[in-house]
């Protein structure tokens, strides 16, 4: 282990290298108050690379003495880190990729805070939320206008088995050989595997500008620290804008095995794709895994059919094994998306045509009251049921790994979810499988943060 760092000062790169005095003053103002704690937590997550726990509270307690300060200087700013995790350094010098991610955190926290304070984001309308998502991604230089469609979003759990991890890496490798880039939630497991495989393939193909985009948000980042392969990190303000960012930048979406967070992502996506307005918008969705994961996908498929109906299954296909064949299929689907956008004069880099209902954009804060009030009944329209199911899984994620969720459960006991008989049976089967397969938590014994009730 390298020696623990007490105080380290780090110089920025890229967009924060040259700042005016007025810009520096604005930056200092934007990171005061609540934003200062967000900056500290996100910075800690980036520096705590390779963490073996996904318990946000435990991480924050372990590094309670960590602090980050912005230091003003004539030519801009630098960051002063106090008691930073040692694994971010080699021979006393910060790993360059981690340094880039650290200043990506500063960039995004400052940008969102300043725009919200100035009233530049209209978060009261669906178009305004989408515009905010676009602006954050553009400010982070994620929207590449000169590239043909080739960005594959990969979702999946951080707590997966070795066979599943190897499969994500193999599929990422096959995607990379075909010139495709990868975007994930930036953590470990099914988020790291595709990037690692693609990076090796890009090296073989002499692709020097391969993209490994990681999209996260402050509530989850400590439990899913960005893996070192990520070379474009974006911090969205909340989970809903993070999910919309994924579907807006994706040219295809691959879903690997996962737990409650992966179920939340799938329900968010299906709820959008089932809207009549999106019927003709191509968004290829592939559920993929090794042969060992076939029972998992059967349960997922049965859950979707039971809750959202047969029509929801039309929006995805399941591919078991054969990473090369699956990657070839994805490459063809990406080309289909490219053709559609070219013929309709759509942007290649951001899916403006996709309609996202306000119910999927409104931030959901999990509490015992909000979770108990969810309407998990089949007599709802499938689109509306998808909204409530997505929120249920979002609350379970909060109770599993987010600091405020863990503390809420400890204080008041498990969240209670009310559902009709069919939905409750489907939920029970799915969640019990997640627990049995150890998909809910990466570390420690898992105690359910939820209780199902009729």
The Cβ of residue 370 has, within 10 Å, a number of other Cβ atoms equal to 13
The answer to whether 349 touches 249, Cβ cutoff 8 Å, is: yes
List alpha helices for 118-192, DSSP H.
Answer: 126-139, 162-177
3-state secondary structure of 338: helix
122 φψ region: left (φ > 0), alpha (ψ -120 to 50), beta (else)? beta
The answer to whether 392 touches 418, Cβ cutoff 8 Å, is: no
pLDDT tens digits, the chain, 454 residues: what are they? 444 558 888 887 665 655 666 666 666 666 667 778 888 888 888 888 766 665 666 777 777 788 888 887 766 678 888 888 888 888 888 888 999 999 899 889 888 888 888 888 999 999 999 999 999 999 999 999 989 999 999 999 988 889 999 999 999 999 999 999 999 998 889 999 999 999 999 999 999 999 999 999 988 887 778 888 999 999 999 999 999 999 999 999 999 999 989 999 999 999 999 999 999 999 999 999 999 999 999 999 999 999 999 999 999 999 999 999 999 999 999 999 999 999 999 999 999 999 999 999 999 999 999 999 999 999 888 889 999 999 999 999 888 878 888 889 999 999 999 999 999 999 999 998 888 888 876 666 778 899 998 7
3-state secondary structure of 289: strand
**Could you give the domains of the chain?**
7-120 (3.30.1850.10), 125-454 (3.40.50.450)
3-state secondary structure of 50: coil
The Cβ of residue 62 has, within 10 Å, a number of other Cβ atoms equal to 15
Beta pairing class for 415-418 and 232-235: unpaired
CA–CA distance, 239 with 363 (Å, rounded to integer): 7
Q: Which residues contact 185 (CB under 8 A, 6 or more apart)?
A: 155, 191, 214, 215, 216, 220, 224, 242, 261
Question: Token pair for residue 454?
Answer: 């009729």
CA–CA distance, 430 with 452 (Å, rounded to integer): 12
Cα angle, residue 266 at apex, residues 276 and 166 outer, rounded to 5°: 140
**pTM for the whole thing?**
0.91
Q: Which residues make beta-bridge pairs with 130? A: none
The answer to whether 143 touches 244, Cβ cutoff 8 Å, is: no
CA–CA distance, 153 with 147 (Å, rounded to integer): 16
């Amino acid at each position: 282990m390298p020696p623990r760092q007490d105080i380290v000062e780090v110089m920025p790169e890229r967009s924060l290298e040259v700042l005016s005095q007025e810009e520096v003053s604005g930056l200092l103002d934007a990171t005061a108050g609540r934003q200062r704690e967000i900056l500290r937590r996100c910075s800690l997550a980036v520096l705590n690379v390779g963490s073996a726990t996904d318990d946000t509270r435990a991480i924050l307690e372990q590094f309670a003495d960590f602090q980050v300060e912005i230091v003003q200087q004539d030519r801009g700013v630098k960051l002063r880190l106090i008691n930073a995790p040692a694994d971010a350094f080699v021979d006393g010098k910060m790993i360059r990729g981690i340094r880039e991610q650290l200043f990506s955190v500063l960039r995004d926290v400052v940008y969102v805070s300043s725009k919200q304070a100035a009233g530049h984001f209209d978060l009261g309308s669906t178009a305004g939320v989408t515009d905010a998502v676009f602006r954050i991604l553009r400010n982070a230089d994620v929207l590449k206008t000169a590239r043909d469609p080739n960005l594959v979003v990969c979702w999946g759990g951080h707590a997966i088995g070795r066979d599943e991890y190897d499969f994500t890496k193999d599929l990422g490798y096959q995607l990379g050989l075909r010139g495709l880039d990868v975007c994930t939630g930036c953590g470990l497991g099914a988020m790291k595997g595709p990037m690692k495989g693609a990076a090796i393939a890009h090296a073989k193909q002499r692709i020097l500008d391969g993209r490994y985009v990681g999209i996260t948000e402050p509530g989850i980042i400590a439990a899913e620290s960005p893996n070192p392969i990520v070379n474009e990190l974006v911090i969205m303000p909340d989970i809903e804008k993070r999910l919309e960012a994924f579907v807006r930048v994706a040219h295809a979406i691959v879903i690997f095995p996962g737990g409650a967070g992966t179920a939340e992502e799938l329900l968010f996506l299906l709820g959008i794709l089932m809207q009549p307005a999106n019927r003709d918008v191509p968004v290829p969705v592939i559920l993929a895994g090794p042969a060992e994961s076939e029972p998992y996908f059967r349960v997922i498929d049965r859950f979707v059919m039971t809750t959202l109906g047969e029509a929801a299954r039309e929006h995805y296909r399941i591919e078991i094994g054969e990473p090369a064949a699956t990657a070839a299929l994805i490459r063809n689907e990406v080309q289909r998306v490219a053709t559609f956008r070219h013929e309709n004069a759509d942007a290649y880099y951001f899916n403006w045509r996709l309609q996202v209902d306000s119910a999927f954009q409104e931030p959901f804060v999990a509490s015992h009251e909000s979770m108990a009030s969810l309407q998990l009944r089949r007599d709802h329209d499938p689109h509306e049921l998808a909204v409530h199911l997505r929120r249920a899984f979002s609350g379970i994620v909060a109770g599993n790994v987010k600091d405020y969720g863990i503390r809420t459960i400890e204080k008041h006991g498990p969240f209670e979810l009310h559902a009709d008989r069919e939905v409750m049976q489907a939920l029970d089967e799915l969640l019990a499988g997640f627990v049995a397969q150890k998909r809910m938590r990466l570390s420690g014994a898992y105690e359910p943060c939820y209780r199902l009730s009729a």
